Amino acid sequence: MPGTDFEIILVLDNGGSRGVELLRRMFPAAGRRPRRVVFTCLFGYSEAFADTPYQPDGQTDFICFTDDRGLRSKTWTFRPYDPALLGPVRTAKMFKILPHRFLGDYDCSIYLDNTVQMVAPYPDIFGQLERSASPLMAFRHAARSCVYEEAQMVKSYGYDDAATIDVQMQHYRSIGHPEDAGLIAGGYLVRRHNDAALATVMEQWFMQVCRYSYRDQLSLPVVARRLGFEPDYFPGMLTDKKTVLWPTQVAKKRLPRDFRDDIYLAIHEDVRSAGMNPREHYLKFGMAEGRRYKSE
């Protein structure tokens, strides 16, 4: 249900310089940083880390924000973060949506979902961003162009709470958001993330994700339209396999999107008694054992 608990971090910070400075102290830069970064997020044992090995270019860092302190890679640097306040899903959304807060030392960034693999040379993509009039480049959604249609799909698959989505869509209709006003594919975002106008859009987008559904593609088009912001779109679709490959093999073994920690623990008393993280247990053991993860 919609609530205000997740807004506490936003109220305390209010997007101000004090909050940004505190976040930068949490994630300090070591010496002079390259001006470009490719980053991803992996929280709550949602899937195995892809660990795609990209060729370094001397100007770009590769960073993964995660709560799994056991991860190791020759390509990626891991920045640990405890998701206890927001939960794993919204913590991942926080890093995805707000790179100006956490990666402000970099001029530009590529966010890619852990199930997305870059195919086109990433220096070329940064070059396209540099030439773009918009500080945000993305792909259009491959199947839909309407947040209301997307909301129905999300509900039909049980990806998020239907009542919450209904309230969200009712609000968007009440403020005049039209049908077929556009929809992005949120798994691959290329940004000059310190741009002031874009940062404002991202802050408002995250507020919507906290207040309503964590399915973030439902809220970005509404926020962007209300603020008069226009992204730039890559030609084709995310599924064309020319710029990126999606979904990759790692997507075949992942936590179900309708997985709920409390339900899994209620069903499996042995996991609860052992004090194990239910997501970690299901991903590493329960899936192979054929355990139920939701009520009948």
CA-to-CA dists, residue 247 to 50, 96, 147, 163, 252, angstroms: 11, 18, 22, 29, 9
41: nearest Cα among 66, 24, 71: 66
191: nearest Cα among 136, 256, 125, 250: 136
Paired strand residues for 36: 60, 108
Q: Residue 241: left (phi > 0), alpha (psi -120 to 50), or beta?
A: left
Instruction: Tell me what pLDDT residue 7 has.
Output: 36
Instruction: Tell me what pLDDT residue 44 has.
Output: 86
Task: Report phi then psi at 217, rounded to 5.
Answer: -70, -15
Strands (E), the chain: 36-42, 60-66, 77-80, 108-112, 117-118, 136-140, 184-191, 232-237, 244-245
CA atoms of 153 and 108, how far apart (whole Å): 33
**Count of CB atoms situated within 10 Å of the CB of 28:** 7
Q: Let me know if 131 is exposed, middle or buried by CB neighbors in 10 A (0-12, 13-18, 19+).
A: exposed
Q: Using an 8 Å Cβ cutoff, are 154 and 160 in contact?
A: yes
Instruction: Tell me what pLDDT residue 240 has.
Output: 87
Give the SS3 label for residue 133. Answer: coil
What the block records as the tokens of 272 is 């609860």
pLDDT mean for each 10 residues of the chain (296 residues): 37 45 52 81 89 93 94 95 93 98 96 94 96 97 96 93 97 98 96 97 98 97 97 92 82 75 94 89 88 86
Q: Which top CATH class is 5-143+183-250? A: alpha beta
Q: Locate CATH 3.90.550 in the chain.
A: 5-143+183-250
Task: Spell out the residues 6+ positions from residue 176 whose beta carbon is closer than 8 angstroms to its own.
Answer: none
